[in-house]
Structure 1
Amino acid sequence: MAAFWGASLLVSACTLDGGLASGPKSIDVLGGEITVVAPEGYCFDRRASRLAEGFTVATPCGASRLALITTQIGEADSAAVTGAENALLQLIQHPDGRALLSGAGDPSTIFVHHVQVHNHRVEVFFSDTASSLSDGLQPTQWRAFLDYQDRMVTVSVRWWDQSPLDQAQGLAVLRAAALALVGD
């Protein structure tokens, strides 16, 4: 199943003529309870997203920085980041927290390069050597944990082997995605 998602994400990112994908700039998830907005230059891929589960995939449609952005909206009343940012920051540096970052649930596959708190969210730059979506994607990624309305949200940014981003560029895309979602 993971290989299917990886392949569909890579195929959906580009059109057959090599152009960038197009799609909606905002999309409703969880039966219309939440609207997720893509940052400038990104569009949502309805085929790769699982809207009923609160999972979205945004791909470039005019972005200068080519990245794959995923957003997972948590269940109602799952918000837990605001006010507990430092505790989450500490957890991510512990094996239990690194296991949460791992595609395989294995903390030994995670190397945390940098973790920080910014605007009531925890931002993590890490590598996952066991990532199940690694075909054509770099093993490094940025992920943010934040609260939106009454829900915990994760936003992840990955980039392709053929157009890698550096740490600062990836962080800029992550922050743009968080800003588009929550507006701060």
Structure 2
Amino acid sequence: MMLPFVREGRTGSIEATVERVEDPAAIGQTAEARDFPCLTARIVYPGRGYGALFGWVQLVRSTDGGAEFEMDPFPLFADAGSPYCSFGVAPTLFDSPARYTRAPMTWLAHTFLGWTPMAETIEPHVVPLVGFSWGFSIDTRETIALRPARPLTPADWTAHLPYLAKQHPTWTFAPAPRAG
């Protein structure tokens, strides 16, 4: 799936691919990850250096974890205090959720590309650009069904704002860009 975005008058896009894991070792995963999804989201953008700094905000709702969306931080940086699970110069987002058991469940991610303006001072602020959902489910026969990447709407970002503000009180979050 390709999703266009505009940042500071420049057009870019993300390419999000959800694939079934056939060789867990090839992606640094354990054997339990076989047949689960892996996501790769790449950014194409003409800016360079600081002008191409982006971050990924990902929230997950899982029936084996809770009824509400929660932050999905990169485990090594879970205590960093940032809403971004990945940040850098045109960072590629990779995720490979898996479970040790194959009990019936549904896992859904809302993934947003954003950026933090780098003016004279750097403020902890997220400006969303575009978002998509993806995930998987496991049925009673232990079959894993992948949910392909699909665009989210500005209302999806807006729905997460109270939670984001509560989880990251030192950060501010811009409204969603207008659709279209």
- What is the TM-score with the length of structure 2 in the denominator? 0.29
Which has the larger Rg?
2
More helix by share: 1
Higher share in strand? 2
TM-score normalised to structure 1 length: 0.28
